[in-house]
Amino acid sequence: MLAAAWTLGVGLAVLTTLTLVGWIAAPRGTLDGGLPEVFRTAAQLWLAAHHAGFAIPGGSVGLIPLGLVALPAFLLYRAGIWMARDADLRLRLPARLPRNSPKEQANARRRAQLVLIAQAGVSLAAPYALLAGVVALVARNPITQPFLGEALVSHLILAFVAGSLATVRAIGPWRVMPRLLPERLRSVAGGTAAALGIMLLAGALLVLGAVVAGFDEVRHLTDVLAPGVVGGLLLVLVQGLYLLNAFVWGMAYIAGPGFAVGTGTLIAPTGVQLGTVPSLPILGALPEAGPTPAWLMAVIAVPFVAGAVAGVVLVRIAPSPTYEGAPLWGFACGIATGCAAGALAALSGGALGGGRLVEMGPAAWEVMLSVTLETGVAAGISAGLANWWLIFRGHNTAVTRAAAKAASAAAPVRKAGAKLAMAAGSVTGRARAADADEHRALPGHWLDATECDTQPIPVIRDDWEDEHASAAAEKPQRNRRPEPPRPPRRDIVDESDDKGGHVIYVDPYAWDRD
């Protein structure tokens, strides 16, 4: 209750200040009731910010600027954050579970979180709607009569949505909260958001391009009104608040049905029919009556592109295990996109009095039907193709992984086989080398016992260089430090004859003699 009262009080204070500034700058006689009438006007603006209509003599006012909804939505969101944190919802029900938690436990946690979010939304929306009923009764005057039912329902819905989102944010970060929905619903919601975002972006670009192209007419209408400095600022503010409505109208134009700015008028890709339009400067960007240029018909392809993207997003979030399931879910995504586009079209249009201004904006059912068919067909085709590709790639990946697994399993066997082959090859090589050595002639000549008797014994002279001396001579000499002389060892007896004695040769084959 306290959060609802705070939101209502701050919002009325802001709108009362703006209304008071406009009353001071407006010509005398605009608000003859004085400050009470200023407060009633601010209360009516507050009701209009929740998209509540009014009854006026000879008609009604339902064309409410969508940009004005941002003020109560922001205040309700902040109030919901404060309420959720004051209740310690983060500690009572954390957003995450430990890894490898049972599926039943995760589903139970998801259901408990959804129940808690709904309870928090209702706890903020119920008192807020009651206070809105009081404001609607206070805002009545002889000219404008707020629709009490619309005021109660609009305040209840907006407060419930804002309070629920605030509770979601208080429980955990945004990246975790989509997991509150089941996987299939989460995929449909993601595809719907992608398609709707693309179409709204295209509609916004179309409207801004039209404003730039028709800026001279917009400036001319502003000069005709001559609002002054303060009035000009308020006029710019009002047109900025209606800019979101224009973006939705641009989306309706892209979808095909187009929109109307009065009874008997139509602005669509097939042609433009205009009559007398309100003197709002932003309406100066409307195209001239007549056939539409051929190149402008290309905007009709945008819904199909949006549907194709939605189908891919749908499959990326939750692929279907069967080939025929993905196209059906893609068309379901198109149905959701069409319903959302129809709701936006209904909120962006409405009556602006009586007479020819009863019909303003796009027809909601036409937009819903067109967007459903266009995005649904494209989303079904793209979802089917994307799902087939994922299944095909997954099959190839599975085959590749199986082959890699088999190869990795056979790697030790191949390695052991290679080692055995190397060992066998080395053994065979050594055997072949031994055979070759056996049949190869040994170097030199071996004397037998008979040859020892007939061959003269070689004489070794001291002045001959042996093989070691010649090898040492071939190597480069290194500068070595001279070694000190070693002392003679007493345990070694020198038996050599250095005084002209004789040399004794031992016959190594003496044992073979007879």
What would the pLDDT profile of 386-431 be if each residue is shown by its tens digit? 888 888 776 555 545 555 565 566 566 666 666 666 766 665 666 5
* Residue 209 resides in a domain: yes
* Residue 438 resides in a domain: no
Q: How confident is the model at residue 349 (pLDDT cuts 50, 70, 90)?
A: confident
User: Where does residue 319 fall: left (phi above 0), alpha (psi -120 to 50 degrees), or beta otherwise?
Assistant: beta
Q: Given 400, 416, 432, which residue is the final one in a domain?
A: 416
Identity of the highest mean pLDDT range in 230-244, 269-283, 303-317? 303-317
85 and 125 housed in the same domain: yes
392-408 b/e with 16+ CB inside 10 Å = b?
eeeeeeeeeeeeeeeee
233 and 257 housed in the same domain: yes
Task: State residue 442's pLDDT score.
Answer: 47
Can you tell me the mean pLDDT for 232-259? 89
401 and 353 housed in the same domain: yes
- C-alpha span between 342 and 192 (Å, rounded): 13
53 and 72 housed in the same domain: yes
Q: Are strands 54-56 and 59-61 parallel, antiparallel or unpaired?
A: antiparallel
Residue 273: Cβ-neighbour burial (10 angstroms; 0-12, 13-18, 19+): middle
234 and 94 housed in the same domain: no
User: Would you say residue 265 has pLDDT above 90?
Assistant: no
* Residue 378 resides in a domain: yes
Can you tell me the mean pLDDT for 230-257? 88
**On the CB side of 347, how many CA atoms lie within 13 Å of its CA?**
21
150 and 263 housed in the same domain: no
Task: State residue 247's pLDDT score.
Answer: 94
127 and 229 housed in the same domain: no
Q: Give 260's strand partners.
A: 361
- C-alpha span between 79 and 4 (Å, rounded): 7
- C-alpha span between 146 and 422 (Å, rounded): 97
DSSP H or E run through 122: helix 103-138
* Residue 32 resides in a domain: yes
Q: Given 366, 395, 416, which residue is the final one in a domain?
A: 416
The token pair at 132 is: 């809105």
* Residue 473 resides in a domain: no
175 and 194 housed in the same domain: no
How many structural domains comprise the chain? 2
230 and 210 housed in the same domain: yes
User: Would you say residue 160 has pLDDT above 60?
Assistant: yes
Q: 8-49: per-residue pLDDT in tens?
A: 888 888 888 888 877 776 655 555 666 778 888 888 888 888
Under DSSP, the state recorded for 34 is -
In this prediction the pTM is 0.71
* Residue 56 resides in a domain: yes
Under DSSP, the state recorded for 288 is P
Residues of the domain holding 309: 184-416
User: Would you say residue 217 has pLDDT above 50?
Assistant: yes
* Residue 347 resides in a domain: yes
DSSP H or E run through 435: helix 364-439
Does the CA dihedral 440-441-443-448 come out positive or negative? positive
- C-alpha span between 415 and 211 (Å, rounded): 75
User: Would you say residue 347 has pLDDT above 50?
Assistant: yes
User: Would you say residue 121 has pLDDT above 70?
Assistant: yes
Q: Given 416, 440, 468, which residue is the final one in a domain?
A: 416
Q: How confident is the model at residue 355 (pLDDT cuts 50, 70, 90)?
A: confident
pLDDT greater at residue 433 or residue 120: 120
* Residue 2 resides in a domain: yes
270 and 378 housed in the same domain: yes
86 and 221 housed in the same domain: no
Task: State residue 91's pLDDT score.
Answer: 47
Identity of the highest mean pLDDT range in 147-151, 154-158, 405-409, 419-423? 154-158
235 and 153 housed in the same domain: no
User: Would you say residue 99 has pLDDT above 80?
Assistant: no
